[in-house]
Chains A and B, each alone.
Chain A
């Protein structure tokens, strides 16, 4: 080895200095700036990464967004409380059910409403179904970014279709469900829905086994994702990262367990944790979370009681909550989704704030990407799981 290094033909390594001014060194190795996006298939929407490269290695990365900004908060401050419900569907448009739940949870805190049993169960069922289809699609997109074009994503979408069919028969819409109401849900489950849901839930673990057999020990997936984009535990907490990425870094923080909002304290489920905080752990954590979601769904579908679905004292139309403020949050599939509302006893909220998980999880994108190649940045971004409707609002 040492002989090779002393070989005059090979030289003693690079003799030039890197410049970022654009003045080329004799070897022609100046840093290059690449603008990834806003229309790049791997950015999952209109999102840009301004990347500075040394060869293929990332030395600087700045996320740029706002292309989809419509000032959702301002719109909501000029609309009635109920009028904002359909807008929340369009934040994270994969998971309108959990968006609805986070918003209605905050309004219930603000107005002091209670929720009947049956509605709580329906909320848990729809939220966990949302989590299943979000995670399965995320994995589909992630392996698509690694080059597995088509097949895994199509498998994921096949499963998602079944869940969207359930949402359609329940709310009339596949993605923009607009289903929950303050103090309950909009309408009761249609006849035969529970049986249909049982079929989907019972078929899901078999699909997961098949999916895992294809992917979990796949050599390409392992070599592209292990040790890539490591997120240290301390940084994750400091940067306010939430959701599967946080738990992949080994922090045991799941709002379903911590807050026990709704009726989550009644269900028996585990919180999977990662060890390395790399992209592979972030992949694996989603598989494990889906298995836990299936377990929650089985318990909820078994125990769901009959009864009313909107609390008689709750009011959706013409709501004027008493003066005050409230912050409510849930464990959405992408992390902590919170709504902060201030009421001045008029039909419109004085302040309406969304705490979007995708947006805040992007804080650490640069830290995870530094030192990796530009091709890895695509995978790291894919494993963060962002939706631009929520980032830009």
Chain B
């Protein structure tokens, strides 16, 4: 298939791996912060093909994993209301809240529907005028514009039975928080591909500028990821740091202006709670004043409660790249994809799920 197959060419992969082998002179640790990168690394078995001295760790790139438990609890509370239809992206269904999950609540007859696109929830609202349709909006900057379009669509068509639980987050502030915490020594960032098609390269400039760490915006095919690793190694070798775009076929320096405009029209930036990372300044989105009427939690009178992590769950450290899945005492034993305890195991992009799936639950 065009523009996929060529970026999986085994001959290019071989050439890139050879060059990586000769350019990687010392131990380096790169972090990726994108769920799709986590999956791609595992799906193609890339880590095993890299030399030992090149270590790729996974950061908080899975939006499902960083959604705090109390947001899931609030969504469950909303879904339990007689008149409400809760619309959610599929990945949120199995994430454990404090005592239940959307999947379990659906089995118990709450009207919870999986939507593939945010717009679908608007269609459900139009088709059910006497019900309240609440969309659980989880995602990063990639999803925000489509949710913004959905809210604008509701406003334009006068659909007042559509409401939103805004749980969108922003990646660059999380990257800054990780660097400031200083828990892991990083030699480079592999920046998210899809988020960057929206936000461009500028939002990452502060990383080389203030922290001296190289950044590369990478695509998702094996050739993309290996070329990106090579770009980081070259910067290190030449003693420079900057933001480079490897994924040039989809990412422009200023991103997608139209998408950014929709997002800033509907949302404002607020401080936000990240599961496992705590509160991060200016890292989340909330509905702007003009669109307050679409705020589901306010409208339904649901508050966000304090929630505690399940004991023994290391999702927080795993999300910060400080530990790897097999280091968690629950991994593979009490926490498995069939019976997940923490979000890193449930989400298809979660670090633990990807690790488990592609290395067979091994605890070595």
Do the two chains belong together in a single complex?
no
Chain A residues proximal to chain B, CB less than 8 Å: none
B-side residues, CB < 8 A to A, are none
